[in-house]
Amino acid sequence: MAITQAMWIHGNSIKVEYGDRIKSIWRAGFYARIVGKPGTTNWFHFSIPTTVIVSDKRQMIDSVMLRFKSGSNKARVTNIDIYDGEWLIASHSNLGLNPAGFGLERFNVPGKPEIFWGVGISIGVSFTGTTDAQNTIEFSAAGCDFSLFESVRLHFKVLTTPTVSLDQMLASMREVYEPIGFRVVRMSDETLNLPSLNTVDVGSCVRGSTTAEQNTLFGNRNNVGANDIVVYFVEATNPPYNGCAAHPNGQPGAVVASGATRWTMGHEVGHVLGLSHVSNNDRLMTGNGTSNITNPPPDLISSEITTIRNSTLTVNP
């Protein structure tokens, strides 16, 4: 995942939650030195300057960083909680960190969520020593890495659950799309009871040409946004394909059959975004079938990235 911005704050800006549990705090020009009272725990807080909107896009948090050192293994960082405003978005517990020298410790934020209100880092520390030296901890800086992605927003409509799970297909698509700057967002799931369309006629499966059954199936968007993509999971297509991305005008989406591979959904969505087949099995858009991909995760090349970026279906978060 590409990092597009990093924000840091100085260690001497730290806030103490329980002042009565602190023996002393000294704010120097380049860090804050804290001596905790023996047998206590405490929380310390950093507010990270947060540029929420950049180029009309909402930033997503990748991870937070902390630079600190400890006087001994009796002064340990035990918890890192990460907040967006009042929302707890990640929690790392049972850490037991006590580095002897200043170094960078990184804490990831699962799911890389969009940021709305500003990043706060809360640090839990335990002091179990008997001397001031043992109970000393020094904070140099705290920071946060952000990513700035466009999004591909997917809605799943399930007539038949595929052999490869929806979670696996989504994870595989993210392996390809997210390193090149496109976040894949699972917006909604819906089960459809449409037995007559469970083996759907897709005709020649050519972009811009759809059958009556495709038109009926794709009419089940059910209030999905105009720039969102719907993936319909069916038992099979007629003729038999793993998937088909031909869709009616104004109803962007694709069909994925139950026997599809883990890469099929990403491949078919690629077609919806404007990509064509290639004759290279190292690439996601291979025309030889995604079961023949030879170098997973498969590639999207620079011209394909440009096509995706220019699609009206890649949107700001």
pLDDT at 316: 60
CA–CA distance, 177 with 180 (Å, rounded to integer): 6
pLDDT the model gives residue 253: 98
* Top-level class of domain 5-147: mainly beta
Q: What is the CATH number of domain 150-315?
A: 3.40.390.10
Binned average pLDDT, 10 residues per bin, the chain of 317 residues: 85 97 93 97 97 82 96 97 97 97 94 91 98 98 89 95 97 93 91 98 95 98 94 98 97 98 98 97 97 96 94 78
Structural tokens at position 149: 């992605």
Report the pLDDT value the prediction gives residue 2, as an integer from 0 to 100. 66
Domain ranges of the chain: 5-147, 150-315
pLDDT at 111: 79
Q: Taking the model in full, what pTM does it have? A: 0.63
Q: Are the C-beta atoms of 195 and 209 separated by less than 8 Å?
A: no
